Structure 1
Amino acid sequence: MTYTHLTSNELAMIEAYYNNHQSVAKTAVLVNRSRQTIHKVYQFFKTGHNALDYFNQYKKNKTRCGRRPIVLSDEQTEYIQKRVVQGWTPDVLIGRAEFPIACSVRTLYRMFKDKTFDPHDLPMKGKRKPNGHKEKRGKQAFRRSIQDRTTDYIQFNHEFGHLEGDTIVGGKHKSAVITLVERLSKVIITLKPAGRQAIDIENRLNQWFQSVPKHLFKSITFDCGKEFSNWKKISNTNDISIYFADPGTPSQRGLNEHSNGLLRKDGLYKAMDFNEVSETFIQSVSSKRNHILRKSLHYRTPLEVFLSYVGKDDLSSLI
C-alpha cells in the first residue's frame, strides 16, 4: 500500500475533531488514517500548536529529505573541464579512473544536463536526419554490393584492416575531404584531394595507398556517391576490395558517419572551404580525435589500438 502524507484539509479536520474531544480511534476511522498517525498529530496539538504549525513543520522537515546534492572539489572540477575540452566524455572520465571523481557516470551526465559543466563540449547528440529520410543525391548504378563483403571475409567483424570511407563536403560544395575509418581500432584517416570529382578522389587514394604497407588494409566500404565511381581502378591499382552500402542506409557505415560528425564538430565545419586550408590542418583534426579515449575500446585511444597492429615506422605515412 502506498503511503501518502497528510494534506492541509486533513489536518484541519483532525484539529476540529481534537477540539471536540474526539477519540483517536474514532478520528482515525473518520479520516481513514491509521491510529498511529492520528495519535502523533494529537500529541503535537497537546503542546499548544495548531494544524498550520504542524503543516509548516512538515514542509521544513521535507526539505531535509532525499539525497544531498553532490558537490565536486575544485581539483575534480578543473580536471573534468580540462579533459572534456580535449574530447573526453563522462563515461570515459569515470571508466578510465585516471583521476578520482566522487560521482557516477549518470550523475556526471546529469551535471552537464543541469549546466554545471558546459554541455556544448560533449559530442553531438540526437539524429542528424529524421526517420524516413531518403537520399536524393546522385548515385552510381554499377557497384559491388555490401552483401558480398561477409562472403569474401568471413571474419570481417573481428579482423583488422577493413575501412569505411566517405567524403566531407566544404562550403558551397566546392571542396571535399576524404575520410577513412578502420573498423577495429576506430582510427580516423583524413586526406585532402585536389577537388571533388571522381578522378580527384582516385588520384589521392592511389597516392596514399602507395605510402602504406602493401595489403595492410583489406577492404573499403563507401556510400553510393558519384565521387567513388572510379572504384574499379582504385581496387585494381591497389589490390583492395571495395564495396558499397545500400542506398539510403547510412547505418551500414555507422562508424564512418559518426566519425564525420565528430570531425565536423572538431574543426571541419560545413561552411569551411577546404581548398584554403592545408592538409596538415585537416590531418590534425583527425589526429586529435585519434588521441581521445573510447569506452568501446576499453578506455584506450584509437591510436593505442591501431599501434598494436601497425609498427611505429609505418604510422607517419598512415595518419
Structure 2
Amino acid sequence: MTRKAAAERVGINIRTARDWDRGVRRLKRGRLYPDGTFVDYTTNTTTMRSMTSPPSTVPEQVGSRLLSLQERETIADLKRLGWSLRAIGRKLGRSASTIKREIDTRSTDGVYLPHGAHRDAATKRMRPKPAKLAQSGRLRDYVSDRLREQWSPEQISGVLSRDFADDESMQVSTETIYQAIYVQARGGLKREVADALRTGRARRKPHRSPEQRTSRFVDPMVMISERPAEVEDRAVPGHWEGDLVLGAGNKTAIVTLVERSTRYVMLGHLPGEHTAEAVRDVLVTLIGTLPEHLRGSLTWDQGAEMAAHKAFRVATGVPVYFCDPASPWQRGSNENTNGLLRQYFPKGTDLSIHGLEDLEHVAQKLNSRPRKTLGWDTPAERLLELV
C-alpha cells in the first residue's frame, strides 16, 4: 500500500506516518530523531539527548551497510518460494553467509518475519551512551583546566594521546571537545566558551575547501596553475612577480616588481592610500616603461590591492596570475627581494616619506649587486642584454 493509503487505514495523518517510517518521535515540545537530535519548537533550538528507550518505530533503512527492511521482505518472500541461500544472495548482491546469518539469528520458532527481524536489528544496534565530557571526572577536569590555560582542543587531544596512551578513559577527540563547548547538553563545557578558545566565538565557523571559497574579486581570477610553463622555468624573460611592502600600521606602502629570470627590481611610489585604483595606476606606469617583449605576465597574491586586475590587464595587455592562498613560495623571487628591501625600509616606519628619487636609488642599489643565482652577474647587466 502507499503511505497515504496506509495512513488512512490506520487513521493517522500522513506526516505522522512519515515520522514513523523514519523513526521520529513526536514529543510535547518538539521532535526527537533516531540519532538523539531533539528539535525544540518552543525555543527554536537543537540539542542532543540520550536515547533512554528505543523509538516505537524504526527507520526503513538502518544503515547503508546493513540490510534494509525491503531486503528483509525480499528474503522472506524468496525463502517461501524455496530459493537457495546463494540465489537469494545473488538477487540482493549479498553473500550467502549474510543471508544465512540473518535467517538463523532473526527467526522465531523457525519462522522468519521481516518486520520483526528489522525491529530487532534496529533495537540491538542502538547503543546510546552519554558523551565523554558530559560525565564529571578526571578527563573532564583535565580538559576544563587546559581550556582555561588557552590550550586549543587539538592540543589537549594530542597531549592526552601521548601522556595517557594506555588509559582509554583519558582519551578524547578534538571534535568531542568542540561539541562539548558548542552543542547544548553535549558535555557541560558551555561556560568555558568566552575564555576557552582563542577566537572567542560563541558559535562554530564552518571552514570551506578551496573549491568552495567565494572569489575575493568581482572579476574572476586566473590562478597560478594556469600560468604557462615558460613562466615557471624562468626560460623566457619578461615575467614579473609583484607585491606591496607595507609601513607602520599598514597605512603606507611601496609597490615592488621583480623580473623572474634576471631578478631586476622596480619600485612604485604610493604617496597616499594603497587602494586597488592607486596600485593599478602605479603598475600601469611601471609596466609602461618596459619594452613590449618584457611585458609577459604578472604574478601576485590575492591581496585586496589587486581588485582592479582586469583594468590593469586591459590597459597594459599583461595577464595577471594569482597565487594560491597562504602560498608565498609561489612568488619566491619577490618575497626574497622584499626581505632585502627591509634594509632600506624597516618595518614599522612611515614609507610615505620616501619620494620617487629615494625609490630609484634603492632599486639601483639592488640591481647593481652581483647575484650568485646569476653567476655573479648583476640584475642590471642581465636586463641590459635583453633590452
The equivalent of 1:287 in structure 2 is 364
The alpha carbon displacement at 1:298 in A equals 0.7
**Are 1:237 and 2:339 matched, yes or no?**
no
The alpha carbon displacement at 1:279 in A equals 1.6
The equivalent of 2:207 in structure 1 is none
Instruction: Flag structure 1 segments of 5+ consecutive residues without an equivalent.
Output: 1-138, 311-319
| Contact 1:185 1:305 (8 Å CA) reproduced | yes
Distance 1:300 1:215 in 2: 22
The alpha carbon displacement at 1:243 in A equals 0.3
The equivalent of 1:166 in structure 2 is 243
**Paired residues for 1:35-114 under 5 Å:** none
**Are 1:198 and 2:198 matched, yes or no?**
no
Partner SS for 1:305: helix
What residue identity is the alignment partner of 1:202? R
**Are 1:303 and 2:380 matched, yes or no?**
yes
The alpha carbon displacement at 1:174 in A equals 1.3
Partner SS for 2:227: helix
The equivalent of 1:250 in structure 2 is 328
What residue identity is the alignment partner of 2:288? Q
Partner SS for 2:258: strand
**Are 1:145 and 2:199 matched, yes or no?**
no
Distance 1:279 1:192 in 2: 6
**Paired residues for 1:198-237 under 5 Å:** 198-237=276-315
Distance 1:255 1:300 in 2: 16
| Contact 2:328 2:335 (8 Å CA) reproduced | yes
Distance 2:231 2:381 in 1: 26
| Contact 1:162 1:217 (8 Å CA) reproduced | yes
Identical residues among aligned pairs (%):
32
What residue identity is the alignment partner of 2:235? H
The equivalent of 1:275 in structure 2 is 352
The alpha carbon displacement at 1:221 in A equals 0.2
Partner SS for 1:140: coil
| Structure 1 pair 275–162 and aligned structure 2 pair: CA distance change class (3 A) | same
| Contact 2:270 2:352 (8 Å CA) reproduced | no
| Structure 1 pair 154–300 and aligned structure 2 pair: CA distance change class (3 A) | closer
The alpha carbon displacement at 1:156 in A equals 5.1
| Contact 1:215 1:240 (8 Å CA) reproduced | no
Partner SS for 1:237: helix
Distance 2:293 2:316 in 1: 8
What residue identity is the alignment partner of 1:257? E
| Contact 1:245 1:252 (8 Å CA) reproduced | yes
What residue identity is the alignment partner of 2:355? S
| Contact 1:169 1:175 (8 Å CA) reproduced | yes
What residue identity is the alignment partner of 2:340? L
Number of matched pairs: 171
What residue identity is the alignment partner of 2:375? H
242, 246, 262: which one aligns with 2:340? 262
What residue identity is the alignment partner of 1:174? K
| Contact 1:156 1:162 (8 Å CA) reproduced | no
Deviations 1:180-205 (A, max 9, x none): 00011011111112421101101111
Give the superposed CA RMSD. 2.0
Instruction: Flag structure 2 segments of 5+ consecutive residues without an equivalent.
Output: 1-214
Distance 2:232 2:342 in 1: 32
**Are 1:189 and 2:274 matched, yes or no?**
no
| Contact 1:161 1:219 (8 Å CA) reproduced | yes
| Structure 1 pair 277–155 and aligned structure 2 pair: CA distance change class (3 A) | closer
The equivalent of 2:252 in structure 1 is 175
Structure number with higher relative contact order (C-alpha < 8 Å, ≥ 6 residues apart): 1
Q: Runs in 1 of length 4+ with deviation above 4 angstroms?
A: 153-156
| Contact 1:215 1:239 (8 Å CA) reproduced | no
The alpha carbon displacement at 1:288 in A equals 0.7
| Structure 1 pair 144–272 and aligned structure 2 pair: CA distance change class (3 A) | same
Distance 1:201 1:226 in 2: 10
| Contact 1:177 1:193 (8 Å CA) reproduced | yes
Partner SS for 1:201: helix
